Amino acid sequence: MEKQVRILSEEQMKQFVEEGFIIVKGLFQPEELAEISDTFERIGQNPVPGFFEPDMEAGTEDPLKRYPRVMQPHRFNDTAKKYMLHAPVMAVLRELYGEEALAAQSMFYYKPPGSRGQALHQDNFYLQVEPGNCIAAWTAVDAADMENGGLLVVPRTGEHEISCPELADSAESFTTHYVKPPKDRAVVPAVMDPGDVLFFNGNLIHGSYRNKTKDRFRRAFICHYANASASRISGFYRPLFREDGTSVDLELNEDGGPCGVEFDKAYPH
């Protein structure tokens, strides 16, 4: 039997366990990024009810009214589904999980110049993958840095318990939830080139600041995954998909989590 070639080094595996995240360089090729870019350029021209609902007449006061994120594009677009199940990404996830990964969510962020960021938060508060955890694969379609609102991570919070969020500053965040990082943990930028993929677990505290540029979008294709041994997930993310495209329907996780069932955690990350 042919031995499977590993993608991640021992150092990368160690970093993921200890820090809660890794950046894998150049996991998407330029022609793949071009296909993703072209696909979402077309999607961006017209509303898709329930998935992409822009105000086509919006002015420049709030750029996200014209370019909100696209939610679950794999449910209506074959290219999005293809890259949600991108073989190199799935291979990295298999190494991180130690088992097969199941795709649960896809998103596309345009983040045009002037856009607000997203307050610090934890993904598994929303996905509620149990037992196990979700992992995000955050693909930079454009270069992502501090100027155009690249992602921020709080290292060594991958083992931080899922926290009940506070109210975010709506002047700086387009989402309403904010998780305060521990006092002894610093927020650091995840600087990325196009084609790089940031993997991080569902407990890691992360977010982003405003896009401060006048002429640079910060486009990103972001997907979330569950371990194949998980049995429950929040309803918004069902069904899930194996790498071969077949669907898997985990049980609905009806647990209220740390905030109780009355807390609004149905907000789709």
> What pLDDT band is residue 265 in, cutting at 50, 70 and 90?
very low
Which amino acid belongs to residue 130?
E
Model pLDDT for residues 70-80, shown as the tens digit of each residue: 999 999 999 99
Does the pLDDT at position 142 exceed 50?
Answer: yes
Average pLDDT over residues 103-130: 98
The CATH architecture annotation of domain 10-46+59-258 reads Sandwich (2.60)
Model pLDDT for residues 146-155, shown as the tens digit of each residue: 999 999 999 9
At a CB cut-off of 8 Å and minimum separation 6, what does 12 contact? 22, 24
Average pLDDT over residues 19-26: 98
pLDDT computed for residue 229 by the predictor: 98
Model pLDDT for residues 27-81, shown as the tens digit of each residue: 999 999 999 999 999 999 999 999 999 999 998 889 999 999 999 999 999 999 9
What average pLDDT does the structure give for the chain? 94
> What pLDDT band is residue 143 in, cutting at 50, 70 and 90?
very high
pLDDT computed for residue 4 by the predictor: 67
Domain boundaries, the chain: 10-46+59-258
